[in-house]
Every structure is written in C-alpha cells, then in structure tokens.
Amino acid sequence: MARFSSSLSAVVSSGLVYTRRRCSPLVAPAALFRALSYEVRPLQKRRRGATLSSLFPRTAVAFGLTATAGDVISDDRVSASGHYQYNRLLPCPSQNRPPRVEHLVVSEGGPVLEYICKELDLPPLYVADLIDFGAVYYALVCPTPPPSATQEQVEIFKRVTAPSILQKRSSIKGKTVREAQKTFRITRSDEFVETGTYLRVHVHPKRFPRCYEVDWKSRIIAVTETYVVLDKPAATSVGGTTDNIVESCANFATRALGLESPLLTTHQIDNCTEGCVVLSRSKDFCSYFHGLIREKKVNKLYLALAAAPVPVGIISHYMRPVNMAPRLVSEDLIDRWHLCQLEVLQCEEIPWPNAEIERRYSIEDCGWPSKHVAYECTIKLLTGKTHQIRAQLAAIGAPIVGDSMYMPAVIREKEDPKVNPFGRSRNPHAAEDDGGGSAVLEWIAQHGKEPAAAIGLQAFQISWDDDTCLYNSGAPWWR
C-alpha cells in the first residue's frame, strides 16, 4: 500500500472525521481517515463537543507471544473491554492482528511521535516501534480520496487542500499537487511534521514470527565480496513489507553474518515460497543484477509439488495486469494482459506428504479430495511474474499443495466449470469486462487467503553469468 488511492481501495471502508484538537481559524480542520477491514460504524456525534468522529471497536483477538533472548518483554494483550493494550511490537506475536490503518492530517505542527500518540491514543514506545518498523508514512498534502469516499469525506478533503490553504505553506512551493501528495516513510521519531501534513499509520503491521525461529547462519548458501546467497525459509519476507522492514530475510541475514552494511534485495519470491535468494552487499551489484534480470540472463529453476499431474513442456498463459492477488490468467490472448511462460522439465509422481510432515511445516489443508499421491515438477521460469507458477498450475487444474489462495478456486471450478470466466468452459461473454465485471468478481471470490506458512514450491536453483555463478538450495520440506 505505497499509495493512498490504492491503499484505501483495498479496505472495506474509510471515514473522514474532524479531530478535536487545536484547529486554528486559518487552517482547515484536521481530517482523520480510519480504515479497518472489519466492522465499521457510521459517523456519529461525540458526546463531548460539537465535532464528528467515526467510532471503531478494536476487534478482540487473543494470541500467544513468542520471545527470544534479548527481545523486549511485551504485555500486548486484549483488555476486558475488548480493546488492545498497546505496549511494544516485540516480542513478535504468533498471529497477525486484523489490519488497522489510520489516516491523519496534522492540525498543529510538532514532533511526529507526539502527534500520533495524542491522536490515536497510543503509548510512545509503541509508536516509536512502528516508526522503526517503517509503518508510518507522510505526504506534504493529503492524497485524493478514492471513488468510494462519501460526500462529507470529499468536502473535508477539499477544505484541507484548498488553494488558499496550500498557498500559505512554504514547504510545497515549486511542487505540483501530485508531487506534494507522494508518500515517504517517516524514519525518525523526532521528525517535525507541519500543519497540513498527511500521515498514514499502519497500527497493526504484518508480522513474521518465523524470523525468530530460524537458524539464519545455517541458511546461508554462499558469501562473496559482492553478494550473499540465502536459502530463504517459507513464511518470511525477502526484503520486508509496506509496514514491516525489520522482520525480513535481508535484515536477519545481515545480523547473522555480522555485516556492518545492510544486505539489499535484488529479486523477490513469495513469502510462502522457500529457496534461493540473492542479496546484494552493494548498490553497484544490485544494479548489475537487476540488469541481468532485465536481459533475462538469470536462470531460475523451481520444484513444485502439484496436486495433479502436470504435462511436460512449455505452458503459456496471459496474466491480468492488476497488481493485486489473486493473479488471474487466461489461455487466450486478452488485450494488455502479460504473457506468462514456464517450462516443465520433469514431472514425477511421489507420495503425498504425510500428516506429521504437514503438521511440522504448518501446511494448510485446502480441501483437495485425493491425498494419496502428489506430483513433483521441475520448472524453469521463462518469464517472471508475481504468483506465476502458482497461478499457471492452478489454471491447468494442478494447484500447488498447501496453496490456500489458488487451490479453493480450482476445487470450485471442478464443481462448476463455468464459474471461471477465463477457463475453457467459460461463458463467451463473461470475461468481456475483465476490469471487474460481476463474473470476474465472482471468480475472484472463489479464491482463498494468502498462505500463512509454506506451500509446495521451492526456488531450488539460481544461476547467472553463463552458469559461472550457480547455487542450489537444500532439500524441500516435503522430502
């Protein structure tokens, strides 16, 4: 959610409200967008004062905590009233909280930590942790509300971005409104934010408890003067997320090796995928490796554990150009959709992982009807798109074991082939509006959530410079 428009379109609802603090006559009232993807109540009047506020209960979710030596002790529990008791972000909880993103417009300039604490009623140490995690963003000018915004929300946005207001702000002179609406991370708790600054606070950042369970030194495949090759464990992020840059493979590998400069990401694989990842020790190598990827001089081989047999040879699809999961693909060319190709080099029948292995690696039971045999496929990526292997194998009826996002859709399509507007049995007119027609939305709804742990997918080999540099990961979890 790097941008305001895309972030709010991804949540169920948002609300613009007046704040109760320090609104000067020459400054428009502060705007507060509250975005929770669970229960949202309508705007209500406060009992105190004449301002408006949207009231949002904190969903009560109890969870255990896992701590390691040196972690800050936390009392991050749910109170009797059902509200979270915020203390620190560490130790890392074993489960993620419901998403909570707060959108603010500063009504009086001052230190960012102090302002967020007062507006959101959060303790200073918790807000400081959020800033350290990279979970707080700012823009000089409030971004444009999404199309779903109410008339009241639009009116408040117009007030805080009125030309008469913006002309008084020296910080945006020489910038276009679009330039001033660009968001950046807050990196220091003592940063000063002036009146009118927009803030986005990810109060519940996505967490990765697996980071604290891994022996990171044992996952290092190679260390050179310019790069490090890591055997990435599943249920971890390569370089972090929008709201969490601390709990990442790059950060923990840097610590494990005792490096002074942080490792940089050169490419990505899904959080639920394990295997080879190249991390750069310098910006120069990062640029060099990116160039190799653009020129398709980096070769990647994957092992995929499919729930059904996969034909050997090149498989081609076209992927919908929407940067949001699930990724939809079609065998037929659709205007502006991206070509996706992979080559299946080998497909071997093997036993389905037993219950003990699935329990050990937290593999999700996605309801596949037959669990006697699975199919281990060696796959060469010919193009590199997000979720490509997962989406393409699902499209041919062979979803990856444990893939809770794509396997449910395959099961549903077997029950009713016409539910997939891009499938072979589709209604010829169902996919005409590929941007979001009712048939497309219904097909998206058949997909599940992103896996929380491992799936049957491993990036087992990566090579470049005509195989001068070639590295293999360890055995996949299912062996």
Measure the CA–CA gap between 326 and 330, rounded to whole angstroms: 13
Q: Are 399 and 306 in contact (CB under 8 A)?
A: yes
Measure the CA–CA gap between 1 and 202, rounded to whole angstroms: 10
Structure token pair of residue 215: 């022996």
- Dihedral sign of CA atoms 76, 77, 79, 83 in order: positive
Structure token pair of residue 100: 């909570």
| 270 given a catalytic annotation | yes
Structure token pair of residue 406: 């794509």
Q: Which of 305, 278, 300 is nearest to 289 (CA)?
A: 278
The residue annotated as part of the active site, out of 76, 231, 243, 270, is 270
Backbone phi, psi, residue 129, to 5° = -65, -40
Q: Are 29 and 23 in contact (CB under 8 A)?
A: yes
State the pairing for strand pair 313-319/274-280. Answer: unpaired
Measure the CA–CA gap between 399 and 63, rounded to whole angstroms: 31
3-state DSSP call for residue 88? coil
Structure token pair of residue 340: 């996706």
The torsion defined by the Cα of 291, 295, 297 and 299, in degrees rounded to 10, comes to: 100
Measure the CA–CA gap between 113 and 469, rounded to whole angstroms: 46
Find the angle CA(341)-CA(346)-CA(348) to the nearest 5 degrees.
130
The residue type of 140 is: L
Catalytic residues: 270
